[in-house]
Structure formats: structure tokens, C-alpha cells
Structure 1
Amino acid sequence: MIVAASAMSTLGLGLGLLLGLAARRFHVETPPLVAEIEKVLPGTNCGVCGFAGCAGLALAMSEGAAPVTACPPGGREVALALAGIIAPEGGAEASIAGMAEMEPMVAFIFEDHCTGCGKCFKRCPTDAIVGAAKQIHTVVMDACIGCDACVDICPTQAIVTRRKPRTLSNWYWDKPALAFAAAAPGRPARQI
């Protein structure tokens, strides 16, 4: 038994050293632009953009093959940050000019239609769906990115996407509209 344990330990150590040497010898450096773009992307690797994860999208953006608006879960903030990285000369607003202002979306499961088949939580890239086989499922709102992967796979159409409900952690003031008070004769108009 001692001989077998020492043989397996020696074999494991030898193969580990061989893998370590191969990793150093065949290491490929990631371009700095790709690494910087990948830091901004959400990192969920959901595939909604049509590329193989966030690394594939970052590589395509660095080559100019994908627009900065290609990540729907990231939304306008991520697109604006990506445009600042790719076109830092002030072309950020021009790059996202066609992108509509979207509210964050999340999945919602109608429990009376859910059969507990389990297809939705197997497809979810962020593990936002909680449940077990043949039991009711529910969505963890903070983990859901609104990628619609679970909506497409649900056989009973029990899952829909809705606007993310406002809570204390994601609530914000709307940007106030500028209004000008009517000026009395002889006085300049003042901004309210």
C-alpha cells in the first residue's frame, strides 16, 4: 500500500511539473485593450451578445467586429464605459447614440403555471433561479441580469421579463427637467 501511494504521489508530482512547464512555455499574452474591455463587461458569460462569453466579446470589440452596445445585460452604463475605452477622444456619446435608455429587466415566474421541470435554472447563466425538480421555482432579483434565456426555454410560458422593482439599493432620483420662471418686466429670467 505504501508503494502504491508513493507511486501515485510521484506520478502526480511529475505530471504537475510537466503541466506547469507547458503553461509557462506556451503562455499567450492577452492584449491590454482586451483585458481592459473585459474588466468593464459584467463577466456573466451569458452569451446574449452572440459571442462565446465576455472574453470573446472583448476580443471582438478590440478588433472592431462588435459594437459597444453588444452587451444587453450591461446596459447603457457599460456601453458608455466601453465607448470611453475604445474611442477616448470624445466619441463615447456618438457610439451609443442609437441605444435607447432601457430600464433593467428581470425574470418573473408565475408560480401557478410552473411545473418544476428544472429547464430554466439549468439555462440561467447567473444561477438566479432557485428551485428543485418538481417544485415551484422563483427568481433572485439581485442576481438576474434579464438575459431572457429562461424565458425562451420554459415549456409552459410561466416566465416573463419585467422591469426590475425599485428598492432602496437601486432607487435613484430622476434627472430634473430644467424650467425657467417667467421674468417680470425689467428683471432677468431665473432658473428654477
Structure 2
Amino acid sequence: MPVVPGALATQIDALLPQTQCTRCGYADCAAYAQAIAEGQADINRCPPGGAQGIEKLADLLQRPAPALDPSCGAEAARERAVIDPAQCIGCTLCIQACPVDAIAGVPKRMHTVIETWCTGCTLCIQACPVDCIHMEALADPALATRTGWDAWSPAQADEARQRHARHLQRHPRQLAQAVAAESTQSLPPEAPRPADDRKAALLQAAMERARQRQHGAV
């Protein structure tokens, strides 16, 4: 019997690394899996999964394994995000951006990355308004140079999937924005977006708090 699209998407999702990095061009791994199942995306758009991941998907779908699509990025060693405590202004934008809740902190205070949870997606770097986050090699030297599934286990992927699901429950606006992403892409470049306005407002408030701290007002 042929596999129904929903069941096939679940099988495909189980073979993705769940880094939720969006490099494939979709909102998360589940969305990419659904696109593959529906024939709307190829299986070679996941740099974190690398060549091994493509081979797994090719075996499942019984098709040739193409090379990684270079437009999505290159296969590379998994890294971890690190926050510079001297530069962090406590704006919480990185906490909201992290798809697996691997960043801990509260408003107006320095945040920190939970290394064992970090998938290396780099979305926090894109969200940080003061560029205080950078990527470093994994602390474990045995993993520091490994790529694809050699550096990431199915158990870690399952845990990341669960954390991402909980993240979407806590941030339902992100889920709604992901669903509406296709329609927002049709807006002209100069059209204002609510997320951009909110980020600008948060940045302005955070910078003001930082200036007040420097002058001993807070």
C-alpha cells in the first residue's frame, strides 16, 4: 500500500536532525519534511544532516542521493553559540529566537546558552541587535570536527524536536508567523512588518537600559 502523505512526512521528519535552523528554506524541520512528502522540496536542502542525512532520506524514498544544495549552505562541524556577557543587554530577542529554548535568562539581565541543548542553528546571532553572540567549536574535542550525524545522535534530535514543540506552545505567534510566511513574502520590501517594529522597540528600550546602567541609574 502507498504511504499516505501525513505518515510519510512523519517518517521523513524522523530522519532530519531537528536543528530547526531554517537553512532549508522552511520554518522548521517538520515543515521541510512535509514539503518533501508533498513533492515540493528536494531531499538535499539540510546542511546539518549533511551527506549522511541525504542518504537516509534517499533510502527511505528509494531515489538517488543528490549532492547537498549549495544555496542552503555547506556541511560543516556543528558549533555552539556563546554569549559575550560584557556586551549582552538583556533584550531577550535571542531567547525568543532560539527554536529549542537553549538560552536562559530574564529581561535586563545577561543571558547564557545551555551548551548541551544548543543545535548550532545560529538563529540567535541573527536576532541579536548588539552582535554579542558568536559560534565556537564544541567543547568535546572528539566532536569538534565531526559533521552530520557523526556529531549529532537520534536521541539528541528527538530531544530537540520535543523542545521545539514546547517552544512553539510558549510562543504561538512564531507558529502563526511560520504558517503565514508565504503570504508575507509577497509584501514589497518597504512594507512594515509587525515583527520588525517589535524588534526595533525592544532594541530601543534595551539600549536605553544599558545607557542607564553605565551612568549608574539602574
**TM-score class, shorter:** 0.5 to 0.7
1:96 alignment partner AA: A
Q: Per-residue displacement from partner, 1:7-57 (whole Å, max 9, x unpaired)? A: xxxxxxxxxxxxxxxxxxxxxx64443221021123455534222332321
Q: 2:40 aligns with which of 59, 65, 70?
A: 65
Structure 2 letter corresponding to 1:149? L
Report the identity percentage. 35
Distance in 2 (CA, whole Å) between partners of 1:108 and 1:132 is 17
Q: 2:4 aligned with 1:33, yes or no? A: no
Q: Give unmatched runs, 5+ long, in structure 1.
A: 1-28, 174-192
Amino acid at match of 2:103: I
Q: Which has the higher contact order (CA 8 A, sep 6+)?
A: 2
**Residue deviations 1:168-191 (CA, integer Å, cap 9, x gap):** 6x4799xxxxxxxxxxxxxxxxxx
Quick check: 1:56 aligned with 2:47? no
Give the corresponding residue for 1:77.
52
Report deviation, 1:101.
4.2
Query: Secondary structure of the residue that 2:101 maps to in structure 1?
Result: coil
8 Å CA contact retained: 1:72, 1:147: no
TM-score if structure 2 supplies the norm length? 0.54
Can you list the C-alpha shifts for 1:59-111, whole angstroms capped at 9, x where unaligned?
A: 221344323232334344333322222335xx33xx13667541002211111
* Preserved contact between residue 120 and residue 150 of structure 1 (Cα < 8 Å): yes
More displaced 10-residue stretch of structure 1: 147-156 or 79-88: 79-88
- In our comparison, the structure showing a higher alpha carbon Rg is 1
Contact 1:107 1:159 (C-alpha < 8 Å) held by counterparts: yes
Three-state SS of the structure 2 residue aligned to 1:160 is strand
Partner in structure 2 of residue 115 of structure 1:
89
1:143 alignment counterpart: 117
Structure whose residues are more often helix by fraction: 2
CA distance in 1, matches of 2:36, 2:19: 17
Query: Are 1:62 and 1:86, in contact at CA under 8 Å, matched by a contact in 2?
Result: no
| 1:1-192 equivalent positions in 2, closer than 5 A | 30-43=5-18, 45-88=20-63, 91-92=64-65, 95-96=66-67, 100-166=74-140, 170=143
Change (3 A) 1:46 1:58: same
Question: More displaced, 106-115 or 47-56?
Answer: 47-56
Counterpart-to-counterpart distance in 2, 1:172 and 1:56: 29
Which residue of the partner structure matches residue 159 of structure 2? none
1:123 to 1:97, Cα distance in 2 relative to 1, 3 A: closer
Give the counterpart letter for 1:83 in structure 2: A
- Superposed CA RMSD in Å reads 2.7
